[in-house]
Structure 1
Amino acid sequence: MPQNPDAADLTARLIRCPSVTPDEGGALTLLADELVAAGFICQRVDQNGTPNLFARWGAKGAARSFGFNGHTDVVPPGDPSSWTHPPFSGHETDGWIWGRGATDMKSGVAAFVAAAIAFVRETPPKDGALILTITGDEEGAGKDGTLALLDWMRAEGEQMSVCLVGEPSNPDRMGEMIKIGRRGSITIHIEARGLQGHAAYPHRVRNPLHALTRLLHDLVTTPLDHGTAHFDPSGLQVTTIDCGNPASNVVPEKARATLNIRFNDLHSGASLETMIRDRADTISAETGVDFTMTSDIAGESFLTEPGPFVDLVAGVVREETGLDPVLSTSGGTSDARFVKDHCPVLEFGLVGHFMHQVDERVPADQVRQLARIYRRILERYFA
């Protein structure tokens, strides 16, 4: 029987593939070679130049199928001279693997690929299927990555019963947190348009900054909510204000601001946009300043309710690490926001201390431990 890949070694080999979004860099080719050798059917599902890989072991349309999702693309490394070891060297020393993607998330992909290969070679399930969806577009816009894979799967009749995303999920120690959902995220761009004029004659102007800052003050001083059973309170942040006015004695015609809202399951992107439009309309009626808005919803909030799938993953994590994992919805967005429309989804991966940093690195033993956890989850799921 061929030797199963070591998760830490596979991590180092993946790091040596310079797969800065959207370049494949050889990473998906490397994984496909490993998976095909273990009996997986692999299909490239590239879209608009974005590389994606679908892999399945077992029968198409199986009654139950366990899925993993992850990405091999990475953010740019910055100045290579700032790194202790070259960012795409996959250098291993003193038990650490160094390089861009070591934490986010070539190690997570390597762990679930190694676990899946060992599982099907040594203890193959009598029924069911394993499905791996690996994208090269998570660190970018995400439009041509996991979404493209899920669309292709729908067209081809491929289905995951449940899915585990291998993103780093633990703040400080392995086993302390499982992500059972995520807040939604919406960015709203607001433009206020008034009447330009001389600052000494306020009766002849309509100051868009006054109207805009009034709206912003209203939004930031009024809580959106007080949280829910599984979510913290929603948060609104003003990220920029600008009017492009170089003159101190001129009231500008236009002013702009950008908001980012991370919201819980009491809201949707559409309901928040409507709420802000309504408040802007009230101020507009009182000031004569017109507001226009555009928005970009990165993802809606979602929750995988505690139940058998959550209990299975939490139980394995507890047995392997000795910690009782917190069921969390904290953090930003991930591709789980797309997978949740396909099947129940959870996130569990490594400690994320060095994500996107210069000298990104990961303990090799932690990667191997994660692979053991994934292997035990598969064994428990198909038992």
Structure 2
Amino acid sequence: MSPFRDPLPLAQALIRRASVTPADEGALDVLEQTLTALGFHCARLTFGAEAGRPPIANLYARRGRTGPNICFAGHTDVVPPGQGWSVPPFEAQVVGDHLYGRGAADMKGAIACFVAAVARLPASETSAGSISLLITGDEEGRALDGTQRVLDWLAERGETLDLCLVGEPTNPRHLGEMIKIGRRGSLNGRLRVLGSQGHVAYPHLADNPLPRLLSMLAAITARPLDEGSAHFQPSTLALTSIDVGNEATNVIPAEGRAAFNIRFNDLHTGAGLERWLRERFDEVGGAYELSVEVSGESFLTPPGRLSDAVSKAIAEVTGHTPELSTTGGTSDARFIKNACPVVEFGLVGQTMHKADERVPLADLEALTRIYLSVLRACLTIPC
């Protein structure tokens, strides 16, 4: 019997590596050793240093050479622990019936569950197709040298993924509640409205940019962007900052700045939203500068064999019928969707990024059983 069938020891070993982005601290060494023992061929890939950025460690592991190639994607990097913990954040203590530690829910616990599921596969069921893991150390950071770079490396080698399950903590309150079949896109905008400085007693000798700044912001916030689509909630635009930096009460400033974020559904693209923004600002008039960064486009994996396989496994193990959702923030699935169908399912996210991040031990066992069922279904019937 494989010693790796229990997800808890591996989850603890991973949590005990304080892999706060961009550091790895040996987390991928722990995972590679386990996967090698399970018959995986592992490739360690480091990116970033060639561009003057901190080096990011990544791992791609595969067992089998035939199709379909069923991939599990995840990340071993975590956010800083912060303050307020009742137990040390990197000791991976079991307190009562919970495993505590930074990364327990997001998402070292899910990685351990998938590995344990692979270890539970009988030899008779491992000959059909391939199983792979794409694990990055750059999901919680800028995501410049992680999943996308590994996907580029795979494409250069002519290696394909047929489907992918991402182990993000998708469930708001209880295991089996929600599968992510898509994500909204995210656009960050920075607006600088230009004028000329002057004395407030002589406004005709100055060009006050602030009324134009307010008019521009009103032009993009006055009405909703849309009413939602078949699988997405309405897009949202949130102002995040308005800055003038003027401490004087008798000076008209030379410029005003604002920042905003748009979370957009499949009715929009990043390029289309940038055009819309410039049109609205041009209607107001005056000199301005706009910079836009799109960290990911919206995407949808239409309900089908993959989501059906995950839903069926969840129902078998938990008795719950999961919601197929596109809510929440971004994830590395935004990169993987260009390579193959992708859905996300993992642990409960209620404590992720918080002090005392934790996961019930029962959920580790249940998620392992769910992943095992998904593997069996997708190795037997191409998803």
Cα contact 2:64–2:127 (8 A) shared by 1: no
The reply to whether residue 373 of structure 1 matches residue 370 of structure 2 is yes
Shift of 1:380: 1.1
- Name the residue aligned to 2:309: 312
- Name the residue aligned to 2:52: none
- Name the residue aligned to 2:58: 52
Cα contact 1:83–1:359 (8 A) shared by 2: yes
**Cα deviation per residue 1:324-378 (whole Å; 9 max; x = unaligned)?**
1111000000000010011000000111010011111111110111111000100
- Name the residue aligned to 1:77: 81
Cα contact 1:187–1:259 (8 A) shared by 2: yes
Q: What is the one-letter code of the residue matched to 2:239? A: V
Matched residue SS, 1:54: strand
Cα contact 1:67–1:162 (8 A) shared by 2: yes
Cα contact 1:35–1:117 (8 A) shared by 2: no
Shift of 1:118: 2.4
Shift of 1:123: 4.0
- Name the residue aligned to 1:97: 99
Matched residue SS, 2:125: coil
- Name the residue aligned to 1:22: 22
Shift of 1:220: 1.2
Query: Any stretches of 5+ residues in structure 2 without a counterpart?
Result: 49-54
TM-score (norm 2): 0.95
Cα contact 1:8–1:365 (8 A) shared by 2: no
Cα 1:173–1:2 change in 2 (3 A) is closer
TM-score (norm 1): 0.95
**How far apart in 2 are the matches of 1:320 and 1:67?**
21
Shift of 1:222: 1.4
**How far apart in 2 are the matches of 1:279 and 1:63?**
49
Cα contact 2:189–2:292 (8 A) shared by 1: yes
Residue 348 (structure 2) aligned to one of 347, 351, 360: 351
**Cα deviation per residue 1:57-111 (whole Å; 9 max; x = unaligned)?**
101xx231111000010011124xx321111001112111111111111101111
**How far apart in 2 are the matches of 1:4 and 1:236?**
46
Aligned residues: 374
The reply to whether residue 63 of structure 1 matches residue 64 of structure 2 is no
**How far apart in 1 are the matches of 2:174 and 2:85?**
25
**Cα deviation per residue 1:144-181 (whole Å; 9 max; x = unaligned)?**
01111111111112211000000000111111110000
**Cα deviation per residue 1:183-213 (whole Å; 9 max; x = unaligned)?**
0001000000012212222322221111011
Query: Any stretches of 5+ residues in structure 1 without a counterpart?
Result: none
**How far apart in 1 are the matches of 2:228 and 2:161?**
31
Shift of 1:259: 0.7
Matched residue SS, 1:51: strand
The reply to whether residue 326 of structure 1 matches residue 323 of structure 2 is yes
Shift of 1:5: 3.8
**How far apart in 1 are the matches of 2:297 and 2:144?**
15
**How far apart in 2 are the matches of 1:54 and 1:200?**
66
**How far apart in 2 are the matches of 1:357 and 1:4?**
29
- Name the residue aligned to 2:166: 165
The reply to whether residue 298 of structure 1 matches residue 298 of structure 2 is no
**How far apart in 2 are the matches of 1:201 and 1:311?**
68
Cα contact 2:197–2:251 (8 A) shared by 1: yes
**How far apart in 2 are the matches of 1:302 and 1:327?**
14
Q: What is the one-letter code of the residue matched to 1:337? A: R
Cα contact 2:227–2:235 (8 A) shared by 1: yes
- Name the residue aligned to 1:86: 88
Shift of 1:3: 2.0
What RMSD, in angstroms, separates the aligned Cα atoms of the two structures? Answer: 1.2
Q: What is the one-letter code of the residue matched to 2:160? A: Q
**How far apart in 1 are the matches of 2:124 and 2:8?**
22
- Residue identity over aligned pairs, in percent, reads 49
